[in-house]
Amino acid sequence: MLEARLEQANLLKKVVDAIKDLVQDCNFDCNDSGIALQAMDNSHVALVSMMLKSESFSPFRCDRNIALGINLTSLTKVLRCAANEDILTLKAEDAPDVVNLVFESAESDRLSEYDIKLMDIDQEHLGIPETEYAATISMPSAEFQKICRDLMALSESVSIECTKEGVKFACSGDIGSGSVTLRSHTNVEKPQLNVEIDLSEPVALTFSLKYLVNFCKASGLSEQVRLCLSNEVPLLVEYALSNNSYLRFYLAPKIGD
Amino acid sequence: TPFQNNLGEYYTLV
């Protein structure tokens, strides 16, 4: 059986909120290392990969592999019933029909309990090889969100060009063009504002802004976001969570004209 | 507009 207790319901609320517009029905794969999810959007252009390590829960117990097929709209409805600071416990039997969610207030004696019916989801699973990326950019997640939103007002796509000079986000559309260039930057007092660019070779790729803006819904999960690029492979956008847990998005580049 | 590629062209199904 599965029993996984999160100190704050907020974490799962934010994760589900960040991915629910991209993917609808997904398997939450539970085993002794934690709870993982991998799902592609309908157009197979973007992929979500979530890992909540067992260390992110206290306690965490999962005796055997269990796949919880959950509709994210249903999960969102139930998670709305939890206060952000509630303690959340996920429970399921070994061959479950439902997943049980318990919300406990740390400050009062309220205990809420919900069951969500599970679905049988036959999901395509992609193998993503370990990649040595040509460019890795760490930057404030709010900054990345602002750049994507700003450029989307002008164009449907953005080119991300990384050289030793810095990283340039550029777009052009019907009304004109725009670009934002960032250079490496270290703020000793506020390291969350750092921009770090690790480059082994120059990279230039073009991506759909619609998807990037969607990924940025995860900005509330982490102060920093990591962008990993190599020519001719999908972009990795990573939001690191505590205990080595993460929320990753992969986006295929746009090709041709 | 540029053609939007597909993840399946980079990663294989497992």
Q: What is the mean pLDDT of residues A123-141?
A: 94
E runs forming strands in A21-119:
25-31, 34-40, 46-53, 60-62, 66-71, 87-92, 98-104, 111-117
How far is B8 from chain A, CA to nearest CA, in Å?
7
For position B1, what pLDDT does the model report? 45
Percent pLDDT > 90 in chain A is 95
- What sign results for the dihedral spanned by CA atoms A124, A130, A133, A228? positive
A240 and chain B in contact, CB less than 8 A: no
Taking CA atoms, what residue in A is nearest to B4?
Answer: A254
How far is B1 from chain A, CA to nearest CA, in Å?
6
Q: What is the mean pLDDT of residues A200-223?
A: 97
For position A232, what pLDDT does the model report? 86
Do the Cβ atoms of A252 and B3 come within 8 Å?
no
Out of A156, A206, A234, the one facing B7 most closely (by C-beta) is A234
